[in-house]
Amino acid sequence: MSIETLSAAVRNIPDFPIAGIQFKDFTTLFQDARYLKELSDILYERYKDKGITKVVGIESRGFFMGPATALRLNAGFVPIRKPGKLPYRTIEEKYTKEYGEDAVQIHEDALEKNDIVLIHDDLLATGGTMAAAYNLVKKLGVKKIYINFLIELEDLRGRELFDKDVEIDTILKYDI
């Protein structure tokens, strides 16, 4: 199966969540076992030789493929969540969104200095949420960090929030 086939399976929803937005609905990729397997295979192939010890998924759509990828890589899974959702002691990173400020948290003991981490989320748009997640993971002093998205909206230039030495990979890329 090709990237073009996967890309064509993503449904466009006009004017969602607000007028003027062309929403990329990738749930269609999860509804078909062939597409879901292909996504899993792509993620595995891209990261199988990187020594990943933990996959970090960002609430909530990073929880779709994050745990599945962790299983295939024989790695642990760590959630990054909105404030107040994790039961143990956390560290927090605030970030600016289009409509104000938000924050994400991770358990303070979720990662160790020798961990090689893949941070996964569904979509790279403006990049604020992932930048906050990346900063949290960096604060925990891990050995190496990789970043992955299923979809990237290239015109929004979310990659520009990250240093050039950060390896960012996306499966499907769209202009908006």
176/171 Cα distance (integer angstroms):
16
Does residue 46 carry a catalytic annotation? no
CB atoms within 10 A of CB 42: 20
Q: What CA–CA distance (Å, rounded) separates 51 from 27?
A: 29
* Residue 98 appears among annotated catalytic residues: yes
C-alpha 76/C-alpha 106 separation (Å) is 14
The enclosing H or E element of 155 equals: none
CA distance 116 to 131: 17
- Chain centre to alpha carbon of residue 32: 21
Residue among 46, 61, 72, 159 flagged as catalytic:
61
Catalytic residue among 4, 98, 101, 160: 98
Q: Which of 57, 61, 134, 131 is nearest to 95 (CA)?
A: 131
What does the buried/exposed string (b/e) look like for 54-70 if buried means 16 or more CB atoms within 10 Å of the residue's CB? bbbbbbebbbbbbbbbb
Q: Which residues are catalytic?
A: 61, 98
